[in-house]
C-alpha cells in the first residue's frame, strides 16, 4: 500500500452512481434476475457478491448485514498497513534519542580532549533531528494519507451497499441516485 502515497487508488464515484442507477433501472423494468447477466462482467468481487445476493433474493437487511461484515473486515485489514507507518512515526523519535545518547557517550569518552567534544555533540543533535523529522515529516503524514485513501475506499463500498439495498427495497432509481450523491456532494 506504500505506493498509494504517490499513486492513490482511482475512485470514480459518479461512474459508480451511474452504474448502480442503471442496475436499478434494469431491475425495475426486467426484474432482479436480469441483473444476473451483469455479475459475470464485473471484476470487483465485493460488487459481484452483493449483486449475487441481490439476485438470489436476499432480504435487504440481510444483504446489508452480510456486506457490512465484509466492509468491516476489509477496513480492518487495510488499516493494519497504516498502523505500520504510525508505529514507525512513534519509534522514529526514540531511535533519534538513542542516537543522541550514543553521541553523548562518545562525548563522555573524549572529555579529556575538548577538540573532539564538538563532533560528539553534533552527532547527538543530528540524530535527534533525524528521528523527530522522519516521524513528523515522513512517517506520520504517510500514515494519515493512507488512512484518508482507506476512508475513501470504505465510503465507496458503503455507497454500493446503500445502492444495492435500495434496489432490493424496490426504491425509485432517482431516489437511489439522490441518496448516493449525498455521499459525495
In the chain, domain spans: 11-181
Cell readout for 173 is 432509481
CA atoms 128, 134, 137, 141: torsion sign: negative
Tell me how far apart the alpha carbons of residues 27 and 131 are, in angstroms, rounded to a whole number.
Answer: 57
Give the pLDDT confidence score for residue 106 in this predicted structure.
Answer: 83
Give the pLDDT confidence score for residue 185 in this predicted structure.
Answer: 66
Cell readout for 162 is 446503500
Mean pLDDT by 10 residues, the chain (185 residues): 90 94 94 90 93 94 96 95 94 94 87 82 90 96 96 96 95 94 86
Q: b/e string for 166-185 if b means 16 or more Cβ within 10 A? A: bbbeebebeebbebbeeeee
Sorted by sequence, the CB contacts under 8 Å of residue 15 that are 6+ apart come out as: none
Dihedral in degrees, nearest 10, Cα atoms 76, 80, 85, 91: 120
Spatial contact of 85 and 140, defined as CB atoms under 8 Å apart: yes
Amino acid at each position: 500500500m506504500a505506493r498509494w502515497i504517490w499513486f492513490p487508488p482511482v475512485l470514480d464515484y459518479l461512474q459508480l452512481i451511474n452504474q448502480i442507477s442503471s442496475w436499478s433501472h434494469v431491475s425495475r423494468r426486467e426484474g432482479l434476475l436480469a441483473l444476473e447477466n451483469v455479475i459475470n462482467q464485473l471484476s470487483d468481487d465485493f460488487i459481484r457478491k452483493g449483486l449475487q445476493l441481490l439476485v438470489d433474493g436476499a432480504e435487504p437487511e440481510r444483504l446489508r448485514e452480510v456486506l457490512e461484515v465484509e466492509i468491516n473486515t476489509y477496513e480492518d485489514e487495510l488499516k493494519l498497513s497504516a498502523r505500520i507507518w504510525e508505529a514507525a512515526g512513534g519509534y522514529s523519535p526514540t531511535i533519534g534519542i538513542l542516537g543522541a545518547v550514543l553521541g553523548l557517550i562518545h562525548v563522555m569518552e573524549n572529555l579529556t580532549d575538548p577538540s573532539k567534544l564538538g563532533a560528539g555533540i553534533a552527532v547527538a543533535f543530528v540524530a535527534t533531528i533525524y528521528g523527530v523529522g522522519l516521524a513528523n515529516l515522513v512517517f506520520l503524514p504517510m500514515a494519515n494519507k493512507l488512512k484518508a485513501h482507506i476512508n475513501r475506499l470504505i465510503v465507496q463500498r458503503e455507497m454500493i451497499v446503500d445502492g444495492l439495498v435500495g434496489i432490493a427495497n424496490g426504491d425509485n432509481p432517482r431516489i437511489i441516485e439522490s441518496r448516493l450523491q449525498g455521499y459525495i456532494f
